A and B are shown apart, each in its own frame.
Chain A
Amino acid sequence: MSLNLFLFAGADTGTGAAGGYNPMNMVLSGAIFLIILILIMREKIHRTLTAMLGAVAIGLLGIWFNFYSTEQAVHAVDLSTIGLLFGMMVMVILLNKTGFFEFAAIYTAQMTKGRPILLMIFLGFLTSFLSMFLDNVTTVVLIAPVTLLIAEVIGMNPVPFLLGEAMLSNIGGTATLIGDPPNIMIAAANPKFHFLSFITTLGPITALAWIFGLAFLIFAFRKVFRLKPRKLEALQKIKPREALTDPVNAKKVLIVLAVVLVLFCFHHTIQLQPSLIALFGAALSLLLTKADLDDVFKRVEWAVLIFFACLFVVVGGLEHAGVLSLLSEKMVALAKIDVKLAGLVILWGSALLSAVVDNVPYTMAMIPVLSDIQREIGNANALWWALALGAGLGGNGTPIGSTAGIIVIALSEKTRSRITFKMWLKVGIAVTVITCLVATAFVLFAYNWLNR
């Protein structure tokens, strides 16, 4: 169907209050979404405020032009995603208060005896491992300052380690349902996908991508890694146990986290939503550690949660205005012709867009599109995985492509070891291309395995 035919055919999916899609509504809501993406990219206004303004704008348009009611906007907010993020945030806050992350980073660094390449591999692995089970943004926020400490104390340039951690954590986070916000949203939108299906499908792909990404990072920073640290002995003098200020509560939260992870693995069997499990973990941790609730809630990243809620409202508006149906139609047509090609378009398109715009709004907008494709062609699992891989791995392309990247850049700006945009691009583009090539190989040569 041509664009014009589509626009004026009054295609009704039962979403628009007006009964059909009005081109004016599509143009206006599409423009709002585009403005939001540009504003988030420019970073002049806080991204949460941008999303709030966007939600209000699309909400008002929806009411005025009768395509998106307030009730529909409220329903558009996916509480599963927000609940999961909140629950995990609370557990991380409680664990952070105990000094566990400093302990883990210092302990890991000491195992390398300060040998630069090993330090890169071990700290990269620690960050990636933690990113698989905690939000990778949180992991980077907690590990990067300790990395700065370790590198500066032994007299090494911290930049390669910080860059490596951000990029490897992005790759690691792509492996699990809870590691990266796009994955959380994909799982929430797709009941078929559970914790184990993420790990068993994305796990091997991201493990390979991680190895290739790390190998490139070591090659790119070979000159820095050839230098001998000036004060190795200072690292060995640190007593990691002293960094662990509250071992009793650390143990309690770690046990709860372990229980939560086990429940995540079987959430589809016991029929419990991951968000409910995360909230159970958060409540149990709060109870066991007797934490000061005011203090914990002050540390929750409300701006992130509100950002998500507002974006859900915006994307809901796009859906009801019919903008996403337009994209769905094109993608469905492509998938019907060549589903592998559709997978590659989704993978590389997602990677490219995630490199320049926030992957959260992008994934949110793509979810209804993929749902439509799934309805049309039946099993579209491989396409969902392509979306998760593209959105996760593409974030390494530029410093603004992922929140972890933004955080590491912002953190480096507060130090004498500034990471510039150019510095990031030099390695980030290559890491993205290499890791996406790994994913491409799977789409091309293991499509049936992906689609199982």
Chain B
Amino acid sequence: MKVGKVMKTVVHTISPGATVEQAVRQFVKKKVGTLPVIDDNGLFRGTVVMNRLLNVFLPDFVNLIGNVSYLKDYGSLELNSDTCNMDIIDKPVESVIELDHSSLDEDSGLLAALAIMKNAQVPDLPVLKDGRLVGLVSYVDIGRGILELLQEKCSMETDNES
């Protein structure tokens, strides 16, 4: 089964100059976790992933130490209206985080999509045709595709038995 068959075709996007605030508003308003960046010519430039964007609010030592599950109170760093870094909000998204450039062609299979998503650690993958965005495939879409295949197999076996 090809990803083109299971992908979502209604995809919310942002433009390359979008600020962090615009991106976060779009994530919240559209209730999505991934926003492909599409330039003025309609070409795919990369993807902004919500959790990566939120990571900029994490203190630096989290990345350096790894396991900080023993730290329950972040003290002076705890997020509140005083400490929240307002400088970031007006900056273009691309200057704050690196865009994810993983994508795949609509003719690719489900396993190719699954492998790329696993390696890139992204929840959704843009599907392209000639460099232009035609859809977005998520783990749920791949699961649905696999389920359809299983059902198809079951019904074929039932037909053969009868």
| A152 and B67 contacting across the interface, CB-CB below 8 Å | no
Residue B73 CB within 8 A of the other chain: yes
A102 touching B70 in the complex, CB below 8 Å, given contacts A154-B76, A155-B76, A234-B75: yes
Pick the most buried of A99, A230, A234, A245: most chain B CB atoms within 10 A of its CB: A234
Q: What residues make up the interface of A, taking CB atoms closer than 8 Å to B?
A: 99, 102, 106, 145-146, 148-149, 152-155, 229-231, 233-235, 237-240, 242-243, 245, 411, 414-416
Proximity bits, B49-84, A CB within 8 Å = 1, else 0: 000000000011101110111111111110000000
Choose from A154, A229, A234, A416 the contact partner of B60 (Cβ within 8 Å): A416
Q: Whole-angstrom distance between the alpha carbons of A414 and B60 in the complex?
A: 7
Q: Whole-angstrom distance between the alpha carbons of A294 and B65 in the complex?
A: 21
The chain B residue sitting closest to A156, CB to CB, is: B76
14 A-B contacts (beta carbon < 8 Å):
A99-B67, A102-B70, A148-B61, A152-B75, A155-B76, A229-B76, A230-B75, A230-B76, A231-B75, A233-B73, A237-B72, A238-B72, A414-B60, A414-B63
A153 touching B60 in the complex, CB below 8 Å, given contacts A102-B65, A245-B67: no
Q: What residues make up the interface of B, taking CB atoms closer than 8 Å to A?
A: 59-61, 63-65, 67-77
| B70 and A242 contacting across the interface, CB-CB below 8 Å | yes
| B65 and A153 contacting across the interface, CB-CB below 8 Å | no
Q: Which residues of B contact A245 (CB under 8 A)?
A: 67
| A149 and B65 contacting across the interface, CB-CB below 8 Å | yes
| B64 and A153 contacting across the interface, CB-CB below 8 Å | no
A146 touching B72 in the complex, CB below 8 Å, given contacts A152-B59, A153-B77, A416-B60: no
| B70 and A153 contacting across the interface, CB-CB below 8 Å | no
Q: Whole-angstrom distance between the alpha carbons of A145 and B62 in the complex?
A: 9
| A234 and B70 contacting across the interface, CB-CB below 8 Å | no
Choose from B67, B69, B74 the contact partner of A153 (Cβ within 8 Å): B74
Q: Whole-angstrom distance between the alpha carbons of A291 and B141 in the complex?
A: 39
| A238 and B71 contacting across the interface, CB-CB below 8 Å | yes
The 9 A-B residue pairs whose C-beta atoms are closest, nearest first, are A234-B75, A155-B76, A231-B75, A242-B70, A415-B60, A145-B64, A153-B75, A149-B61, A231-B76
Q: Nearest Cβ distance between residue B76 and chain A, in whole angstroms?
A: 3
Q: Whole-angstrom distance between the alpha carbons of A245 and B66 in the complex?
A: 13
Q: Whole-angstrom distance between the alpha carbons of A218 and B152 in the complex?
A: 74
The chain B residue sitting closest to A230, CB to CB, is: B76
Choose from B61, B63, B72 the contact partner of A152 (Cβ within 8 Å): B61
| A415 and B69 contacting across the interface, CB-CB below 8 Å | no
